[in-house]
Structure 1
Amino acid sequence: MTATPDVAAPRLATDDLLRSVFRRHAAGVAVITASGAAGPAGFTATSLTSVSARPPLLSFGIGTGSSSWPAVLAAEYVGVHVLGEHQEELAATFARSGADRFAAPTAWRKGPHGVPLLDGILAWLVCRVVGRVPAGDHRIVLAEVLTGDPSGTGGPLLYHRGGYTGLRD
């Protein structure tokens, strides 16, 4: 069922309106990691976007109130992990406030440039941060891809209507 826009009675722009609309937008799920002064840091992101092929650039958003923000702010390099449809619990762990995200059962290792890399994911990249752009209570981080591996198997994990799902054929 599709909605016909009601231009006669639009809702005012609020954070609730934005969230309500974006709950209907299916987004891929990624985990962003960085080495921080207090150890590895990371968070779940649905804002990962390819920006440019030449040079290879991507972006993601992070809230300045996030516990991972200090590590991402100071990091020269970040890890980007595309999650598979079997990794709902991993996505939930990295989205959970106050969780020890790198404790068992999370499997990870130090990758190039000391970036924490998660094991068993669909694909990963190590990137050099080239910019942090203010955007309200968030920052949009621009990063240049340096290396990675797209060889994981399975379908992508998606976030839609407030929950995780996979693609359905």
Structure 2
Amino acid sequence: MTATPDLGTIQLASPDLLRATFRRHAAGVAVITAAGDAGPVGFTATSLASVSAEPPLLSFGVGTGASSWPVMAEADHVGVHILGEHQQELAATFARSGADRFGSPTAWREGPEGVPVLDDVPAWLVCRIVGRIPAGDHRIVLAEVLLGDPTGNGRPLLYHQGGFSGLRD
């Protein structure tokens, strides 16, 4: 039998309620990258979602106040990198404001369409942006998968309760 929620603890909708609830939702961790005139940009995302198989589409959210947003707002292509459990520090670097995300020890190369492609990830994709949908203080970016490599090694990195971790057996 499942427990009945205590209806006496109901909270009104707020940013804090949303954050507290989604801290309990485990999510895969990805890094989104793009090439900008002043150099590459990127950020850690837990909002990555598969949208359609035909055509192959995915989506992710990006805050309009994020340092990478001005480039993402204009970019034609992005890189999507699925991180492995061995890449907690890489995820933290791309999540940290003001970090030198593409400096050492981050290993990367210029990939197709000029997109920065991270090394040693379990999977990566290069996608063409097909839409940017306003959603509060974020934009939902819709992108068509063009090419990629899903054959890297490693188990997935997860984000849960405000921290990074791997799968447990």
- Pairwise same-fold verdict (TM > 0.5): yes
Q: Aligned AA for 2:91?
A: A
For normalisation by structure 1, the TM-score amounts to 0.97
1:110/1:55 CA distance change after superposition, 3 Å? same
1:123/1:5 CA distance change after superposition, 3 Å? same
Structure 1: 4+ residue segments shifted above 6 A: none
Partners of 1:64 and 1:137 within 8 A in 2? yes
In the alignment of these two chains, the number of paired residues is 168
Q: 1: CA distance between counterparts of 2:155 and 2:106?
A: 20
Partner of 1:62: 62
Partner of 1:80: 80
Partners of 1:122 and 1:154 within 8 A in 2? yes
Q: 2: CA distance between counterparts of 1:99 and 1:154?
A: 25
Q: Aligned AA for 2:123?
A: A
Partner of 2:35: 35
Task: State yes or no: 1:110 paired with 2:110.
Answer: yes
Q: 1: CA distance between counterparts of 2:90 and 2:78?
A: 18
Partners of 1:36 and 1:70 within 8 A in 2? no
For normalisation by structure 2, the TM-score amounts to 0.97
Q: 1: CA distance between counterparts of 2:30 and 2:9?
A: 36
Q: 1: CA distance between counterparts of 2:100 and 2:155?
A: 27
Q: CA deviation at 1:6?
A: 2.3
How many percent of aligned residue pairs carry the same amino acid?
76
- Unmatched runs of 5 consecutive residues or more in structure 2: none
Partner of 2:23: 23
Partner of 1:93: 93
Q: 2: CA distance between counterparts of 1:82 and 1:138?
A: 21
Q: 2: CA distance between counterparts of 1:14 and 1:143?
A: 29
